[in-house]
Amino acid sequence: MRHVPFVDLQAQYRLLKQPMDAAVRAVLDSCHFILGPELTEFERAFAEYLGVTHAVGVGSGTDAIELALRACGIGPGDEVITAVNTYFATSEAISAAGATPRWVDADEHTYTLDVARLEAAICSRTRAIVPVHLYGQPVDMDSVMAIAREHDLKVVEDCAQSHGARWRGRLTGSFGDAACFSFFPSKNLGACGDGGAVVTNDAAIAESVRILRSHGMRERNLHVVEGRCSRLDNLQAAILGVKLRYLNGWNERRRSIAAEYTALLDDVLGVVTPYCAESATHVYHLYVVQLPERDRIREILQRKGIETGTHYPIPLHEQPAYASLGYRCDDFPVASRIARRILSLPIFPELTSEQIGYVVDSFREALAAQLRTEAEPLVG
Ligand SMILES: *Cc1c(COP(=O)(O)O)cnc(C)c1O
């Protein structure tokens, strides 16, 4: 039986083994593991890539969001608005900063937060918006920034899935007061472990994140606040420095894989392929379709050796961790409905056209088999 993994990190390592091994060896030889020259160099290169003035490497994408919010002065008593269908970490980081998450329903076409519902979620305690460029699809940042300015709110972009994505030609991560990236291994730019970064054009926010990531230290042994121990380590920075050079090429490949999938699936009855606004350059961290009977189709694909995912099967307001907030299941109808219908197909730059063909053929067969089951008369 053939096997198509959801993500194939080994394929990427095979291509980059030599430069990655050399980068790791150089750090091992130097024994400079924390806040070393490779980190400084990666921070410089990543800021340059995004066209921003500062990048600060931290321990994870989750920590990046928490520290960026704290650096923006957000904490206990404040509310922060984000998407209800994002990954759990976005909300978790808002709470870790001491604030309370307030959710907005998803747009059923783009899957990003519905900007038309944004203003209704703003109250007197609202201090910030965390737009999430979910699946690699950029949020309409013109609308978000206009609403934020009007209500005097900070904007901290969650770019954990959108390295290289653009809104009206401008890179995600360059719009907000700050933006947060994750370098979790499977992201569009991934390390060999956990990692993240906060980027900003605001020198005070950058300085504050630098202090917070390292025990609140402004200089050695002088702790001006209680911070965290959350630095992007030098080994990861060295690896990311190698991989950053490939990011644009990888994103191009993801976009062409997505185009191939869409061309092959567009005419399949009942299947909704990803929508992308004209102003948006989607980088397809995930390729997500909607279909009925998702779980059964997923099971059939699994039996054919095809790994798929659901991002995410339970929206935040239905998560047990948030039961105490008192939301009802039908408070976010779009998110609740799409959570049952979305399916993420394998996508990574090294995926071959042959694999894409196998996935699409299997997917069509699975849908046809499902339709036949439904058409069978009930016996007895
Ligand atoms: C991955 C992810 C995060 C968290 O990043 P980590 O590096 O895993 O902490 C936050 N938000 C979104 C949307 C993500 O996909």
Q: Where are the beta strands (DSSP E) in 27-149?
A: 54-58, 79-83, 100-104, 126-130
Ligand 1 pocket test: which of 62, 163, 344 has the largest number of ligand atoms within 8 Å of its C-beta? 62
Ligand 1 pocket test: which of 112, 184, 236 has the largest number of ligand atoms within 8 Å of its C-beta? 184
- Residue 280 pairs with which residues in a beta bridge? 167
CB 83 within 8 A of CB 91: no
Q: What is the pLDDT along the chain (380 residues), one digit of tens a residue?
A: 689 999 999 999 999 999 999 999 999 999 999 999 999 999 999 999 999 999 999 999 999 999 999 999 999 999 999 999 999 999 999 999 999 999 999 999 999 999 999 999 999 999 999 999 999 999 999 999 999 999 999 999 999 999 999 999 999 999 999 999 999 999 999 999 999 999 999 999 999 999 999 999 999 999 999 999 999 999 999 999 999 999 999 999 999 999 999 999 998 888 999 998 889 999 999 999 999 999 999 999 999 999 999 999 999 999 999 999 999 989 999 999 999 999 999 999 999 999 999 999 999 999 988 878 877 765 54
Question: Hey, CA dihedral for 94, 56, 207, 44, is it positive or negative?
Answer: negative
| Residue 65 CA to ligand 1 centre (angstroms) | 9
Q: Which amino acid is residue 223, in one-letter code?
A: H
Q: Which among 110, 176, 115, 99 has a CA at the least distance from the CA of 147?
A: 115
Q: Which atom of ligand 1 is nearest to the CA of 93?
A: 10
| Residue 183 CA to ligand 1 centre (angstroms) | 8
Q: Which atom of ligand 1 is nearest to the CA of 63?
A: 9
Spell out the alpha helix ranges (H) of 122-212.
141-150, 203-212
Q: Which atom of ligand 1 is nearest to the CA of 134?
A: 13
Q: What pLDDT does residue 380 have?
A: 46
Q: What pLDDT does residue 377 have?
A: 65
| Residue 150 CA to ligand 1 centre (angstroms) | 28
Q: Which among 116, 163, 123 has a CA at the least distance from the CA of 144?
A: 116
Q: Is 89 helix (H, G, I), strand (E, B) or coil?
A: helix
Q: What pLDDT does residue 378 have?
A: 59
CB 346 within 8 A of CB 4: yes
| Residue 130 CA to ligand 1 centre (angstroms) | 13
Ligand 1: residues within 6 Å at CB?
A: 60-62, 86-87, 89-90, 132, 158, 160-161, 182, 184, 194, 196
The pairs formed by 255-258 with CB atoms below 8 angstroms and a separation of 24 or more are 255/281, 255/282, 255/283, 255/284, 257/284, 257/287, 257/347, 257/349, 257/351, 257/356, 258/282, 258/284, 258/287, 258/347
Q: Which atom of ligand 1 is nearest to the CA of 86?
A: 13
DSSP run (H or E) holding 159: none
Give me 255's structure tokens: 């976009």
Ligand 1 pocket test: which of 182, 233, 285, 286 has the largest number of ligand atoms within 8 Å of its C-beta? 182
CB 58 within 8 A of CB 182: no
| Residue 90 CA to ligand 1 centre (angstroms) | 7
Q: Which amino acid is residue 46, in one-letter code?
A: F
Cα separation, 134 vs 197, in Å, equals: 17
148 to 66, 85, 132, 140: CA distances (angstroms): 19, 21, 15, 13
CB 61 within 8 A of CB 39: no
Task: Supply the residue whose CA is at minimum distance from atom 2 of ligand 1.
Answer: 160
DSSP letter at 130 equals E
Tell me phi and psi for residue 106, to 5 degrees: -85, 155
What is the chain's alpha carbon radius of gyration, rounded to the nearest angstrom? Answer: 21
Q: Which atom of ligand 1 is nearest to the CA of 194?
A: 7
Query: What is the torsion angle, in degrees rounded to the nearest 10, for the CA atoms of residue 151, residue 72, residue 76 and residue 119?
Result: 20
| Residue 89 CA to ligand 1 centre (angstroms) | 6
Ligand 1 pocket test: which of 66, 86, 87, 172 has the largest number of ligand atoms within 8 Å of its C-beta? 87
Total-model pTM: 0.97
Residue 271: is it exposed, middle or buried by C-beta count within 10 angstroms (0-12/13-18/19+)?
middle
Cα 254 versus chain centre, distance: 15
Ligand 1 pocket test: which of 156, 158, 162, 189 has the largest number of ligand atoms within 8 Å of its C-beta? 158
